[in-house]
Amino acid sequence: MKTIYDVIVIGGGAAGMSAGIYSGRAKMKTLVLEQGSVGGQAKTTNEIVNYPGVRHTTGPKLMEEMHLQAEDFGVKFAQAEVLEAKLEGEIKVLKTTNGDYETRSVIIATGATPRTLGFPGEAEYRGRGVAYCATCDGEFYTGLEVFVIGAGFAAAEEAIFLTRFARKVTVIAREPEFTCAKTIADKVLAHQKIEVKFNTEIVEATGDELLRRVKFINNQTQETFEHVAAEDETFGIFIFAGYVPQTKVFNGLVDMDKWGYIITDENMHTSVEGVYAAGDLRPKVLRQVVTAVADGAIASLEAEKYVAHEKERLGIVEEEIEETPQPKSAAESAPQAQQVAQGGRSALLNDALRGQIATVLGRMENNVTLVTIVDPTNEKSIELRDLVIDIANLGDKLEAVVKTKGEDAALEAKVNADKFPVVALIDKDGNYAGVKFHGVPGGHELNSFLLAIYNLAGPGQALDASVLEAIQAIDKKVNIKVAVSLSCHLCPDVVVGAQRIAIENPNVEAEMLDIANFPELKTKHKVMSVPCMIVNDEKVTFGSKSIQDMLNFIA
């Protein structure tokens, strides 16, 4: 029997997480749909110091806590992109890349994405000088100059963050002053590594394979000036010029303003009964995590009242939702962890995290073997060995095979162990699954590592039938390298997508590479941004990608 949810929240950012938490706590049958990993724009923020009650944290940590909190209240999550929506009537239908979903109410919380400026060179140098996420890409500009385009909160905050890496940061603001809070504006103006140019706009960026020259204009005097990179150097342009609401799929279905923001009343009601909007996609004065979570809470309360009224009107008997058990202690969830030999325990894991991992591995349907070839001269290779052993000891259907480089030539050839560190996945039949990690999958990549195991072992994440058919239709050998940094919040989705293609088609091999460990690859492909997808060591593309995007690029 098809599930009809009480509420489906579209979007897994701060507003969506808040709506999910409040809906789950109200014992509504709740599903959160997110086309990527949960977290939204908050995950791009390195430092959060203005969220009430939390003195200091990072965006990724705060959003992960919200995610776990929602799961504690029984909220379900699915990775899917909404393609079409039928929002009128008692039952709303969402057509997604993961099939159709039915619900009595909808909370739209799809947020907004960074705005591009459209200047000559912006698209051409994206990933090779032009960037939109300081947390993801700042490290690539260590010792170089960078320009930050924007005058708002994000531009000011990220300019300060970039001083950790860049030798100089120049803020280019078309406004005559900052448009953010005076406290952070003053910090920027006082910073010894930051220069600010107001009433200034970018004209064009040029170069060869990397940025070499950028031209600016003063919009008051019309005077132009250029920055030219020193010989054999490049520089970075980080754009923080506002956001574009991600509401295109709902165009014509709910009322919007001329910029595409969804119009609501103070209770988050849209123009359609039973449909609510929350977060950055609404016209509002302040777009911050604190206002997004407030929107989500209000939208959930209104949806709860609407659904209760509808069920009463239709004579639907309320079904009891079982209480979701609270997370078990590490000792209860992962007794195997205590049996791990001291030499196999990873410094990247604590007991609480081991307990969470054991829960995921407990869902495995088939055996999976992790093969790691250890190069004793490579510190990361030894670090990866300990992580592999530690994780393997948390799952009954997971095994670790550890070999020293040169010890088993046949096994090394089987998994194409040509770079170190390396861990490869072997399926239940002893076949190489085409999935490798060249790097220690800590940080955000720990999730992609666990999902690779889960997707290979089954049941795995659901795939739309048409997408699966397209994957299986690949009839040529394809190698996909995904270059990542462990601080990148967009990278795991690309890694998971590429490796899912490999798992479903033996012609495909997908490798995650921590770009910090492979400077020669960074130099060869001029990688200045992540995620970076390299197909057959020839075609290169940057940025977030869905599986369908990857298939299109491969073709």
In DSSP notation, 179-248 reads -S-HHHHHHHHH-TTEEEE-SEEEEEEEESSSEEEEEEEETTT--EEEEEPPTT--EEEEE---EEE--G
Cis peptide before 531 (omega within 30 of 0): yes
Domain boundaries, the chain: 4-113+243-314, 130-239, 330-554
pLDDT band at 444 (very low <50, low <70, confident <90, very high): confident
Whether residue 320 is predicted with pLDDT greater than 70 in this model: the reply is: no
Average pLDDT over residues 204-215: 95
Average pLDDT over residues 218-223: 97
Per residue in 137-190, pLDDT (tens digit) is 899 999 999 999 999 988 999 999 999 999 999 999 999 999 999 999 999 999
For residues 17-42, one letter each, b for 16 or more C-beta atoms within 10 angstroms of the residue's C-beta and e for the rest, the string is: bbbbbbbbbbbbbbbbbbbbbbbbbb
Give the HSE-up count for residue 424: Cα atoms under 13 Å, Cβ half-sphere: 24
Q: What percent of the chain has pLDDT over 90?
A: 75
Q: Same topology for domains 4-113+243-314 and 130-239, yes or no?
A: yes
**Considering the domain 130-239 in this protein, what is its CATH number?**
3.50.50.60
Beta strand pairing status for 398-404 and 423-426? unpaired
Q: Name which residue leads in pLDDT, 158 or 326.
A: 158
Measured CA to CA, the distance from residue 137 to residue 164 in angstroms comes to 12
pTM of the model: 0.70
Could you confirm whether domain 4-113+243-314 is CATH 3.40.1350.10?
no
Whether residue 343 is predicted with pLDDT greater than 70 in this model: the reply is: no
Per residue in 465-493, pLDDT (tens digit) is 899 999 999 999 999 999 999 878 789 99
Residues in CB range of 166: below 8 A, 6 or more apart? 138, 141, 142, 143, 144, 145, 146, 193, 236
Per residue in 507-535, pLDDT (tens digit) is 999 999 999 999 999 989 999 999 999 99
Measured CA to CA, the distance from residue 128 to residue 24 in angstroms comes to 43
pLDDT band at 348 (very low <50, low <70, confident <90, very high): confident
Pick the CATH number of 330-554 from 3.40.50.300, 3.40.50.1220, 3.40.30.80, 3.30.70.270: 3.40.30.80
Structure confidence at residue 38 (pLDDT): 82
Whether residue 446 is predicted with pLDDT greater than 60 in this model: the reply is: yes
